[in-house]
């Protein structure tokens, strides 16, 4: 067995509504060891997004984890403050949302969006972060990366 990175045990999440509580997630458990890949699959509405958003501390305001634990690198992230989670998100744990409208800021150029987490989490100065963003675009095969780095998300096709 490798190093345990993530351990989710008996996760339970409710949504508080005007009509009462909705029990959305019940007894979800899984773990992830270093070097492993984990796929969370299921039908639409089965709770995949709610489960993964709970890992990031990004649940809706009316959602509440009412049971279980989420242990990330030996620490229960459910006990962390929003400020502590901001230091973890994007640096130690990240989520790429399937919907491009929620993944990228349509008002911000692509280069800046790639550079921003480098500046925030790695303390890289802006000029160097933009240079690294350019290299990342080249690495993933974006043609004419020097021009495309200054484009907005809507200028990239799916």
How far apart CA 55 and CA 50 sit, in angstroms, is 9
For the chain, give the number of residues. Answer: 158
Q: 157 pLDDT band (50/70/90 cuts)?
A: low
CATH class in words for 4-95: alpha beta
Q: 95 pLDDT band (50/70/90 cuts)?
A: confident
Residue 107: left if φ>0, alpha if ψ -120 to 50, beta else—which one?
A: alpha
SS3 of 29, please? Answer: strand
Residue (of 157, 145, 148) closest to 109 by Cα position: 148
Report pLDDT for 69. 97
Q: Is the pLDDT of residue 158 over 60?
A: no
For the entire predicted model, the pTM comes to 0.69
Residue (of 146, 152, 142, 145) closest to 112 by Cα position: 152
Q: Where are the domains of the chain?
A: 4-95, 102-155
Q: What is the pLDDT of residues 34-66, one digit of tens each?
A: 988 888 888 888 999 999 999 999 999 999 999
3-state secondary structure 106-139: CCCCHHHHHHHHHHHHHCCCHHHHHHHHHHHHHH
CA dihedral 97, 36, 77, 46 (to 10 degrees): 50
Q: For the chain, what percent of residues have pLDDT higher than 70?
A: 94
What value does the mean pLDDT of the chain take? 90
């Amino acid at each position: 067995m490798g190093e345990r990175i993530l351990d989710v045990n008996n996760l339970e999440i409710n949504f508080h509504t005007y009509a009462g509580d909705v029990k959305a997630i019940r007894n979800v458990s899984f773990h992830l060891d270093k070097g492993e890949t984990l796929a969370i699959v299921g039908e639409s509405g089965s709770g995949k997004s709610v489960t993964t958003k709970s890992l990031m501390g990004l649940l809706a305001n009316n959602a509440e984890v009412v049971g279980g634990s989420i242990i990330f690198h030996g620490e229960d992230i459910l006990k962390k403050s929003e400020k502590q989670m901001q230091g973890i998100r994007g640096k130690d744990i990240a989520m790429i949302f399937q919907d491009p409208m929620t993944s990228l800021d349509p008002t911000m150029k692509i280069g800046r969006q790639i550079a921003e987490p480098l500046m925030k989490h790695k303390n890289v100065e802006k000029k160097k972060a933009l240079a690294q963003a350019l290299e990342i675009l080249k690495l993933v095969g974006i043609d004419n990366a020097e021009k495309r780095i200054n484009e907005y998300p809507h200028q990239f096709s799916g």
